[in-house]
């Protein structure tokens, strides 16, 4: 009997929904049984803010450990959570078709960002989102929040277990996560890149396997999407060249212009939203990492390192 393919995943509802997408596609492509294996990561047990605990790798390391020790054959991550350094002994087997890259606002009364009341309390655990929110609306009070999607939505949409002092006027969440949970209907505004550049790799999934597991790598190749891999490679190369972690106030978005070219827009932001550096460049889709590195050099020349400060 052929062994089942074991896929490591975080235990949250969103992680399960994302991993199930990969599991279904892998089962169809391989004809094999696929099992999900829950893994608890450091980011799941430490409830401190991402800025405090150091966001790089906190949702990833335990999954990679289970891959390396053979507990699982495949691990599925939100690609934006991956450290930019290449992991020893592992391979990025697939980047499936990317989901919605944008951030989304959820607010009572279908309010947009511009329509929020003066001094509105907006929840996010991301320095990148906080900085860009303050750039758009300096009057906002940014509330640092962690937790799963439902717990964040309750603080806006209400519930019997949410006291008034914990209520928020809005939260900002990844649109792709809401899509995958079937909750896209709560979105009151999709925040475009002119207002909020996404995290590098946002909306994409990363499917890793052991570097010496050629059989699994061959199966995962069927799930890989060339355009999605090119765009996230450009974005992550920029992040690596800036020497910034996934909690840094840096946004980047690459898009496929045509079959041969990419456009990459990126920005670095002061945490209080008062200053930013933003640039756009185009390059060959066959050399996405080069495009990312070149744009990063331009951002650094304009002072991006000083804006990122302690997050670099």
Catalytic center residues: 81
- Residue showing tokens 């294996």: 37
H or E element at residue 266 = strand 261-269
Select from 12, 109, 105, 110 the least CA-distant residue to 63: 12
Find out whether 207 and 93 touch, Cβ atoms under 8 Å.
Answer: yes
Burial (CB count within 10 angstroms: exposed 0-12, middle 13-18, buried 19+), residue 85: exposed
Q: In what order do the strands lie in the sheet with 121-124?
A: 141-144, 121-124, 170-174, 103-106, 189-191
Neighbouring residues of 157: CB distance < 8 A, sequence distance ≥ 6: 106, 108, 186
User: 10 Å Cβ neighbour count for 167?
Assistant: 16
């Amino acid at each position: 009997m052929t062994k089942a393919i074991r896929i490591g995943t975080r235990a949250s509802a969103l992680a399960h929904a994302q991993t199930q997408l990969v599991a279904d596609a892998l089962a169809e492509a391989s004809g094999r049984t696929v099992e999900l294996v829950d893994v608890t990561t450091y980011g799941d047990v430490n409830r401190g803010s991402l800025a405090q605990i150091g966001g790089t790798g906190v949702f990833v390391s335990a999954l990679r450990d289970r891959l390396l020790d053979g507990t699982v054959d495949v691990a599925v991550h939100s690609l934006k959570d991956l450290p930019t350094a290449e992991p020893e002994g592992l391979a990025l087997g697939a980047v499936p078709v990317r989901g919605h890259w944008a951030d989304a606002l959820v607010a009572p009364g279908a309010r947009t960002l511009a329509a929020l009341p003066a001094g509105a309390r907006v929840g996010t655990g991301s320095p990148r989102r906080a900085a860009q929110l303050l750039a758009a609306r300096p009057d906002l009070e940014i509330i640092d929040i962690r937790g799963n999607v439902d717990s964040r939505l309750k603080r806006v949409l209400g519930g019997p277990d949410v006291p008034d002092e914990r209520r928020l006027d809005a939260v900002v969440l990844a649109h792709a996560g809401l899509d995958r949970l079937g909750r896209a209907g709560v979105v009151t505004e999709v925040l475009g890149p002119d207002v909020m550049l996404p995290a590098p790799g946002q909306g994409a999934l990363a499917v890793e396997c052991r570097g010496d597991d050629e059989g699994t790598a061959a199966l995962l190749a069927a799930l890989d999407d060339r355009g999605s891999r090119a765009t996230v490679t450009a974005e992550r190369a920029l992040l690596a060249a800036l020497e910034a972690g996934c909690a840094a106030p840096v946004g980047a978005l690459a898009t496929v212009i045509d079959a041969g070219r990419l456009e990459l827009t990126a920005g670095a932001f002061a945490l209080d939203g008062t200053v930013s550096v933003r640039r756009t460049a185009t390059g060959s889709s066959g050399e996405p990492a080069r495009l990312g590195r070149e744009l990063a050099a331009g951002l650094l020349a304009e002072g991006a390192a000083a804006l990122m400060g302690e997050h670099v």
